[in-house]
Amino acid sequence: MTTATVDETQYIQRGIPVSNGKLAMWLFLVTEIMFFTGLIGTYFLLRMGTPENAWPEPHAVHLKEWMGALNTFVLIVSSFTIVLAHSAITRGNSKRALQLLGATFALGLVFLVIKAFEYTAKFNHGIVPGLMGDNLVDPDIATTNPALAAELKELKLTPGVHPYDAHGALAYKQDVKTRLEAIVADPGAHHVDGVALQTAKDLLADINGTADRPPILPVQLGLKLRPPTRQYPNKYYADPTDFEKNEKDYESKIGPLHLRPYVQYGNLWSSSYFAMTGFHAVHVGGGLIVFAIILIHGLRRGLPSNAWNVSMLELTGLYWHFVDIVWIFLFPLLYLV
């Protein structure tokens, strides 16, 4: 009886049936998924922990839905072009692959330019973490000013629910006062017209107590500077004034002054917004750097259709798709919901 010798090594699968580069990229993307899951999960917890209807609406924080939608479209198209670039190089069309890679790079730049415009609008309107007025409601306001307390209750700013910080309230009032004094002293340097200048003088008179009505409290000042929302389109001011209560009038008088706004939970919102979109923008920038390196190399030495270049575009495309998917989650969370 004879025994046949069988080489079993040919049936043994050694490791995962993917290249080392693709395995490393997938492991990297797993860590990135956990990173953004932590950010988005924290955002959910913070938002769900606020009172009902108290979270800032996009309009109140100068967030334009159409800009977010445009950026979403730009990234989706860029994902399509990087897929076409990979397909072109696998078919040996290096010139077409470079053209499509350049289109992907250009679309990524468009995304960052639009985001830069959004960030500039936030900075100009004082919508920056730690600088917004969102904690101005004195818990004793119902006793000291019942009329204002009723107004605050209508605006969902019930004492005892909304946080109050006396030092923050005074700092907010002093900061706005300093800004108004600078505008009144030199309106030309701040590029304000006569209407905005008169508004600055009226607000400064309120703060200094020289107007024909009692000095305003920090919370009253905040409500004067409160951007409109869809829920409360006319709630610009807490006390009766001669100002018109519509968005166009608000922008023409308050907007050019660039005063720190009052938005309840505004600091919390802006912290979440800048954390999530900022880190996402960093990832977009990282992808653009890789695209730029490939483009420069391809323009100088060509981009032949070999295994190395095919794999390089495939792995870069995987990363870029991940960046796009993250934004598809961020867009509805920040701009629509």
- CA angle, corner 229, sides to 213 and 236, nearest 5? 10
- What stretches of the chain adopt beta strand conformation (E)? none
Q: What are the tens digits of pLDDT across the range 107-147?
A: 999 999 999 999 988 887 778 887 777 767 777 777 777 77
Tokens of 311: 């794999």
For 229, which DSSP code?
-
Q: What are the tens digits of pLDDT across the range 241-275?
A: 333 445 566 666 677 787 777 777 888 889 999 99
- Among 108, 138, 317, residue whose Cα is nearest residue 218: 138
Tokens of 227: 């951007």
Q: Going residue by residue through the chain, which has 337 residues, state the pLDDT in tens, using 9 for 90 and above.
A: 444 444 545 545 566 777 778 888 899 999 999 999 999 999 999 888 877 777 888 877 878 889 999 999 999 999 999 999 998 988 888 889 899 999 999 999 999 999 999 998 888 777 888 777 776 777 777 777 777 777 777 666 666 666 667 777 788 888 888 888 988 888 888 888 888 888 888 888 878 876 666 666 676 777 677 665 555 544 444 333 333 445 566 666 677 787 777 777 888 889 999 999 999 999 999 999 999 999 988 888 878 878 888 888 889 999 999 999 999 999 999 998 7
Whole-angstrom Cα distance, residue 52 to residue 198? 37
- Among 213, 214, 238, residue whose Cα is nearest residue 225: 238
Tell me the torsion sign for CA atoms 192, 115, 105, 78.
Answer: negative
Coil, helix or strand at residue 206: helix
**Per-residue pLDDT at 1:** 47
Domains of the chain: 61-131+266-337 (1.20.120.80), 141-262 (no CATH)
Cβ atoms of 220 and 239 closer than 8 Å:
yes
Q: Where are the alpha helices (DSSP H) in the chain?
A: 20-48, 65-90, 94-124, 141-144, 146-154, 166-185, 194-208, 218-224, 247-253, 266-301, 307-331
Q: Which amino acid is at 38?
A: G
Whole-angstrom Cα distance, residue 326 to residue 284? 11
